[in-house]
């Protein structure tokens, strides 16, 4: 009896300590505090364990110190080189300048002119284009993916890197230790090393239990970056895998969008890669960041936006919300994962309320049933405000894109959920170019043509159990 009482008292004391910690931790919105207090108090033992494993955005003190040290020592972004190539100005209309100032406040990168880009046709075309660029590389190839699978496309990239290394090109390949565990533990990883490709694991897990004591395991590097000779870079949503995506084949095909960029913007992606590489390996690649940047006389203005748990809190939501508030005519969004905070939800609704034609395209079948259910809990308010909701039925729409007023595009790896806001390292590119935005808008229109509209009548017809389930998942959104 005494032992039982002591156990209960200890349990209550632990709960109290954690509740106090939840209430005093910085950068928590009230909904997150309420959700965690509910979990801790309502689910004995399991609630405490859940908070200890997933309750705080912490990748480990040593990792944070190392990353910040690396970022401090990385040379500042070089100046655009004047001369024969010209010194392309970043000519951004005044009405959009504040968007790029927001981006600068996040990553420290200025908007830079003189860029060009092409939207890739589809996933397989993207891989073929990457391989062609790797085969043409003369100095270095830098590659970073969240998910890299040992399938057909994944193997083709491995073979291209091996060919490049064989002819003396410096190849550095990096993959997230959790998302890419299949290829990291496959013979292909060793084959690359034996061929002279330098490899590194982003945020290595090691021993699961020991890692849990030092930081969250589910804080991952979600970036997708390829840099060739400092001249070419790719940015978008696609992982290094077949569209059939063998690890989750029942949701296939994965539908992604990637852009191939040239111009000064490449150096900004190179900076992101260098920071990640030097934080995960013992090799310093500062020398690649020092030479002046050449820029053609013409080209559109663009800016890399890199976010993550060691970057300013709420950085990615601020970028999204700035775009929502800036829209005057049209806003088209594609995202597979939508679990916004109250401010973001209000910003989207506000755009629709003031007459902006606002459309969001989600996948009809989501590979995360939790996120899928939570996303649908927001449908009623969106529809009431006049937001058009469409569900894509041609596979899992994995594209993360935003076009605004036919002139501004944001493309990259960030979803509209807490994982991308607080937990994952992400990379996106924001640019002003009506012509390329029109191309991206046409791709979004293709998605719309393969989507079914969601109406208020459909949502109102949901059963009580469906609404209860979706809203329950949404309540847990701050801790997902």
User: What letters, b where the CB count within 10 A reaches 16 and e where it falls short, cover 379-398?
Assistant: bbebbebebbbbbbeebbbb
Annotation marks residue 190 as catalytic: no
In angstroms, rounded to a whole number, what is the distance separating the alpha carbons of residues 396 and 394? 7
Catalytic residue among 142, 156, 201, 400: 400
Catalytic residue among 156, 201, 222, 390: 222
For Cα atoms 72, 78, 83, give the angle at the middle one, nearest 5 degrees. 170
Are the beta carbons of 299 and 114 closer than 8 angstroms? yes
Phi-psi region of 74 (alpha: psi -120 to 50; beta: other; left: phi over 0): beta
Annotation marks residue 357 as catalytic: no
Going by their DSSP bridges, the two strands 357-363 and 112-119 should be labelled as unpaired
* Distances in whole angstroms, Cα of residue 438 to Cα of each of 38, 444, 473: 46, 10, 36
Catalytic residue among 142, 271, 398, 417: 398
Annotation marks residue 104 as catalytic: no
* Distances in whole angstroms, Cα of residue 116 to Cα of each of 113, 262, 270: 9, 5, 16
Instruction: Write out the two tokens for 94.
Output: 């005044």
Q: Give 307's strand partners.
A: 426
Catalytic residue among 242, 405, 417, 433: 405
In angstroms, rounded to a whole number, what is the distance separating the alpha carbons of residues 441 and 217? 37
Instruction: Write out the two tokens for 457.
Output: 């009548």
Catalytic residue among 135, 151, 229, 381: 229
110 φ/ψ angles, rounded to the nearest 5 degrees: -80, 155
Nearest to 379 by CA among 453, 325, 285: 453
> In 3-state terms, what secondary structure has residue 302?
strand
Phi-psi region of 238 (alpha: psi -120 to 50; beta: other; left: phi over 0): beta
Which DSSP letter does residue 79 get?
A: P
Annotation marks residue 405 as catalytic: yes
Instruction: Write out the two tokens for 267.
Output: 């150096």
Instruction: Report how far apart the first and last C-alpha atoms of the chain are (Å, whole number).
Output: 38
Are the beta carbons of 222 and 425 closer than 8 angstroms? yes
**Which residues are annotated as catalytic?**
222, 224, 229, 398, 400, 405
């Amino acid at each position: 009896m005494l032992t039982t009482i002591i156990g209960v008292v200890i349990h209550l004391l632990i709960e109290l300590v954690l509740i106090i910690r939840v209430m005093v931790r910085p950068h928590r919105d009230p909904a997150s505090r309420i959700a965690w207090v509910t979990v801790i108090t309502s689910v004995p033992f399991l609630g405490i364990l859940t908070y200890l494993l997933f309750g705080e955005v912490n990748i480990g003190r040593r990792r944070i110190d190392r990353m910040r040290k690396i970022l401090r020592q990385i040379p500042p972004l070089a100046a655009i080189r004047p001369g024969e190539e010209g010194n392309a100005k970043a000519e951004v209309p005044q009405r959009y300048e504040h968007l790029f100032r927001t981006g600068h406040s996040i990553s420290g990168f200025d908007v830079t002119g003189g860029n060009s880009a092409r939207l890739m046709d589809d996933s397989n075309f993207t891989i073929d284009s990457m391989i062609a660029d790797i085969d043409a590389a003369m100095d270095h190839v830098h590659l970073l993916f969240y998910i890299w699978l040992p399938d057909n496309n994944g193997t083709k990239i491995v073979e291209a890197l091996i060919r490049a290394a064989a002819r003396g090109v410096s190849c550095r390949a990096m993959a997230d230790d959790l998302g890419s565990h299949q290829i990291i533990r496959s013979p292909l990883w060793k084959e690359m090393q034996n061929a002279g490709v330098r490899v590194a694991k982003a945020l290595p897990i090691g021993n699961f239990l020991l890692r849990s004591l030092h930081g969250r395991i589910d804080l991952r590097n979600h970036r997708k970056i390829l840099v060739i000779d400092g001249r070419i870079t790719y940015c978008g949503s696609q992982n290094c895998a077949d569209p059939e995506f063998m690890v989750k084949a029942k949701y296939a095909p994965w539908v992604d969008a990637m852009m191939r960029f040239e111009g000064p913007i490449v150096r900004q992606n190179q900076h992101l890669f260098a920071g990640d590489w030097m934080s995960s390996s013992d090799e310093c690649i500062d020398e690649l960041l020092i030479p002046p940047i050449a820029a053609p006389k013409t080209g559109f203005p663009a800016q890399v936006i890199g976010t993550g748990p060691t970057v300013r809190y709420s950085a990615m939501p601020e970028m999204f919300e700035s775009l929502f508030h800036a829209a005057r005519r049209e806003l088209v969004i594609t995202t597979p994962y939508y679990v916004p905070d109250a401010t973001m939800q209000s910003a989207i609704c506000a755009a629709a309320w003031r007459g902006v034609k606002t459309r969001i395209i989600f996948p009809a079948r989501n590979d995360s049933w939790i996120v899928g259910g939570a996303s649908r809990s927001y449908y009623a308010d969106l529809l009431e405000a006049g937001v058009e909701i469409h569900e894509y039925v041609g596979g899992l729409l994995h594209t993360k894109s935003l076009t605004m007023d036919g002139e501004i595009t944001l493309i990259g790896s960030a979803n509209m959920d807490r994982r991308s806001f607080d937990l994952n390292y992400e990379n996106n590119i924001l640019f002003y170019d009506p012509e390329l935005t029109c191309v991206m808008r046409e791709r979004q229109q293709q998605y719309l043509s393969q989507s079914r509209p969601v109406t208020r009548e459909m949502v109102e017809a949901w059963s009580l159990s469906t609404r209860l389930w979706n809203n329950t998942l949404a309540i847990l959104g701050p801790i997902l």
